[in-house]
Amino acid sequence: MTTPAPLVIRNVATGVPGLDAVLGGGLCEYSFNLIVGAPGSGKTTLVHQIMFANATPERPALYFTVLGEPTIKLLRYQRQLEFFDSSRVPSAIRFINLAAEAAAGDLDAVLARIVAEVSAAGPAFVAVDSFRTIVADSRAPGSDGGIELASFVNRLAQQLTTWEVTSFLIGEYTLEERHHPVFTVADTILWLSEDVDRNSTTRKLRVAKVRGRGPMPGLHTFRLTSAGMQVFPRIPEQQRRRTLRQQTRLATGVPGLDAMTGGGIPAGDVVLLTGPAGSGKTTFATQFVAQGLRDGESCVVAVFEEYPEAYLARAKTVAVDFGNMIEEQRLAVTYLRPLDLSVDEMLAEIQSAVDRVGASRVVIDSLSGFEVALAPTYRADFRESLYRLVGALTATGVTVLMTDEVVDPNPGGRFTHERVSFITDDILVQRYVEIDGCLQKVLSVVKMRGSDHATDFRAYALTSDGAVMGASLSNYRGITTGVPELASLVVAGIPGG
Amino acid sequence: MTTQESAAACELARQLLDRETVGITNPDLLGAAMQQAWMRVSENLRQSVGDDGFHALSSRALARAEADQPLLRHMRRSDSAGVQLEVVAAAEVHGVVAVSAALESLLAALVDILSDLIGADMVRNLLNYDDARQELPARRAQ
């Protein structure tokens, strides 16, 4: 007797960027899926996108519309989306209106019509939009329709599964209704929601249930654009393939700084450069990028506080032509400033740029701009957002340099925001001090993991050619007070020396 | 034919009529064929946009076409099921040439109105879908 082959449930790729990863590989073939959420949450767009990605004339998709949005309006607006290939309507995607059957209140007639159409067309996909309105019109007075709906959905699920159809039921539900009996029938439940926080809105998707798959937990942000839906999965660091760190050091491009750091920045590190306004953080970061380009590397700069054009104009002080580097696909300057981004969208944007140019250096300029660009709901948990962003980037092996503005760089002996320093390997601190009645810029290496780095403060200057490190202030005392004194004068007891 | 309709809509309207009437010369059969053309358009559109959607479309198309084709007023009958056209009876009274022109105007108006809403390409596909469907290989019904 031969052993029967094990049943393999095939994946259906959704065609929605990011969604297959969230679902644990895609949808199960012949699954019965509920797509639920409030009106305007993107349910219809999601299902259309899946259908246009998969349906063929031989194995079409049937899209049953019931009561609610008129089909003409549905077609009028949905065809504006890039994935909506109108030449495939109705050969591959057919829209069938069930309003007459639904309005008559005869659920058996509705079911019979669906089955008849399925039987005639042999579709691979079926959607009913919206299944809740089918019962809303037929329910008995005083009833909430729950039992009738569950019964209808159960019968529909049995029919569609038997016909080997991957099906989608679209319905308006709120999270408070998540225990509705209809949900027990589904193989997959996708909740779409919209968070409103102050003036920003963030769309989120949650896989509430998947049979036979291990979905990615949590709420995943998504965006609806003219291209359709794009999901930005939460990417825990450990789920990404980690790249082993190279035992090399990267030149910073700032004369004198490599010597202070013990030979350059260890490749794969996360470097934090903090300082007050005007201290030259962007200049240092730009030189770090230019040096990488000179050394044959590729780089990504994520700017938040100025337009890329302005950044590139200011970068003309370095000897490397950033414009040419962009044309040669060795440099990408991403501009992220919409004020309602999720950290996952930012990560996707930066990661995409890293992949596109094959970057080994990433500059985030600046963290305060990054924080402001986040939707308020993410700003509230900035530490976690930053941890996820940096963790995902460094897991791929890139070296990340972040700038951060501090108002008082040394209040009570702290050199950085404590919310930031926990994720960094290396910390460089810039500050102003007064020496002989002049404002002087100084820098110290506070932390350089695994390195024999300098511990003194050193002056630096911002010249027309960029930042240049200068002399050590090792003969001064009290530098962190901002008003240092020459050590010899202090010893001699001369006040204010 | 009304002056409002686009050349593309008029061409498609003519094709929709020709699909049923080509080769038929008997006036009695021509009336029935034209009736069939209207029924086919109705069914193809009702399938997608529903009875209410088709009723709204055909009512507006009639209102637009009747200005140039008053004969349509004698052909139409509206009831709870929507707009009905009594093409065969009208052909017997007014002749197939006049009825054909009126029906062609109505179809062109219908095509133009729907094209403005969902695009001419999709309208053409929807109206020709039953032809396309017959060309598909019959799928197993196992």
Question: Residues of B with CB below 8 A from A165's CB?
Answer: none
Report the C-alpha gap between A206 and A192 in whole angstroms: 7
Report the C-alpha gap between B57 and B54 in whole angstroms: 5
pLDDT bin (cut points 50, 70, 90) of residue A410 is low
Determine the pLDDT at residue A238.
Answer: 41
Residue A85, chain B, CB below 8 Å: the answer is no
Determine the pLDDT at residue B138.
Answer: 44
**Among A336, A329, A289, A345, residue whose Cα is nearest residue A308:** A336
Q: How many CB pairs under 8 A join A and B?
A: 70
Q: 3-state DSSP: chain B helix, strand, coil percent, rounded to 5?
A: 75, 5, 20
Give helix then strand counts, H and E, for chain A.
17, 24
- Residue A334, strand partner residues: A302
Residue type, A304: F
Q: Supply the ipTM of this predicted assembly.
A: 0.79
B81 vs chain A: nearest CA distance in angstroms? 10
pLDDT tens digits for range B89-133: 999 999 999 999 999 999 999 999 999 999 999 999 999 877 555
What the block records as the tokens of A173 is 């539900």
Residue B22, chain A, CB below 8 Å: the answer is no
Report the C-alpha gap between A423 and A400 in whole angstroms: 11
A97 vs chain B: nearest CA distance in angstroms? 5
Chain B 46-85, CB below 8 Å of chain A: which residues?
46-53, 57
B1 vs chain A: nearest CA distance in angstroms? 26
Residue type, B107: L
A52 vs chain B: nearest CA distance in angstroms? 15
Residue A106 in 3-state DSSP?
Answer: coil
Phi, psi (5° rounding) for residue B94? Answer: -105, -10
Q: Which of B52, B53, B132 sits opposite A91 (nearest CB)?
A: B132
Residue A57, chain B, CB below 8 Å: the answer is yes
Residue A384 has pLDDT above 90, yes or no: no
A246 or A457, higher pLDDT? A457
Question: Residues of A with CB below 8 A from B53's CB?
Answer: 70-72, 97
B71 vs chain A: nearest CA distance in angstroms? 29
Query: What is the percent of chain A with per-residue pLDDT over 90, rounded to a whole number?
Result: 48
Give helix then strand counts, H and E, for chain B.
7, 2
**Among A424, A429, A379, residue whose Cα is nearest residue A406:** A429
Report the C-alpha gap between A207 and A66 in whole angstroms: 25
Question: Residues of A with CB below 8 A from B141's CB?
Answer: 119, 122
Residue A100, chain B, CB below 8 Å: the answer is yes
| Residue A261 contacts residue A451 (beta carbons within 8 Å) | yes
Report the C-alpha gap between A55 and A62 in whole angstroms: 9
Give the number of other Cβ atoms within 10 Å of residue B109's Cβ: 30
B115 vs chain A: nearest CA distance in angstroms? 10
Q: Which of B125, B139, B141 sits opposite A89 (nearest CB)?
A: B125
pLDDT bin (cut points 50, 70, 90) of residue A461 is very high
Question: Residues of A with CB below 8 A from B119's CB?
Answer: 79, 86
Question: Residues of A with CB below 8 A from B49's CB?
Answer: 70-72, 95, 97
Determine the pLDDT at residue A345.
Answer: 84
Residue B121, chain A, CB below 8 Å: the answer is yes
Residue B140 has pLDDT above 50, yes or no: no
Residues A338-364 have a mean pLDDT of: 87
Q: A99 and B52 in contact by Cβ < 8 A? A: yes
Question: Residues of A with CB below 8 A from B140's CB?
Answer: 122
- Burial bucket for residue B25 (CB in 10 Å: 0-12, 13-18, 19+): exposed
List of residues 6+ apart from A190 with CB closer than 8 A: A33, A34, A35, A36, A46, A205, A206, A207, A208
**Mean of per-residue pLDDT scores for chain A:** 85
Q: What is the pTM of this model?
A: 0.77
Residues A158-172 have a mean pLDDT of: 91
Phi, psi (5° rounding) for residue A282? Answer: -65, -35
Residue A455 has pLDDT above 50, yes or no: yes
Strands A426-435 and A399-405: unpaired
Question: Residues of A with CB below 8 A from B46's CB?
Answer: 97
Residue A121, chain B, CB below 8 Å: the answer is yes
CA-nearest residue to B131 within chain A is: A91
pLDDT tens digits for range A216-255: 888 899 999 999 999 998 865 444 555 656 679 999 999 9
Report the C-alpha gap between A51 and A45 in whole angstroms: 10
First-last CA distance in chain A: 99
Report the C-alpha gap between A244 and A246 in whole angstroms: 6
Report the C-alpha gap between B36 and A421 in whole angstroms: 78
Determine the pLDDT at residue B80.
Answer: 64
Report the C-alpha gap between A403 and A392 in whole angstroms: 18
